[in-house]
Amino acid sequence: LGVHGELSLAETHVGGRIAFLRFASSEEASQARDAINLGSLRLGGQRPVLAGWARRDRWLS
């Protein structure tokens, strides 16, 4: 992707997997989100990975 962030993996409440990438700046996060969504990245599944936004105060609680 050309950007580097800190990766955390977790399971959702319905048994799925979710990955969180934390970046030093909002610009890096935006570049990574665009690259993932435009690149049709697939991680062992049929559907492409979709990247979105999570607010820090929501996922830390």
Question: How confident is the prediction along the chain (61 residues), in pLDDT tens digits per residue?
Answer: 555 677 777 787 887 777 777 777 878 878 877 877 777 766 666 766 666 666 555 555 4
Helix (H, G, I), strand (E, B) or coil at 21: strand
For residue 21, the cross-strand partners are: 7
| pLDDT confidence of residue 56 | 59
| pLDDT confidence of residue 61 | 47
| pLDDT confidence of residue 29 | 79
Contact 23, 29 (CB under 8 A): yes
| pLDDT confidence of residue 22 | 79
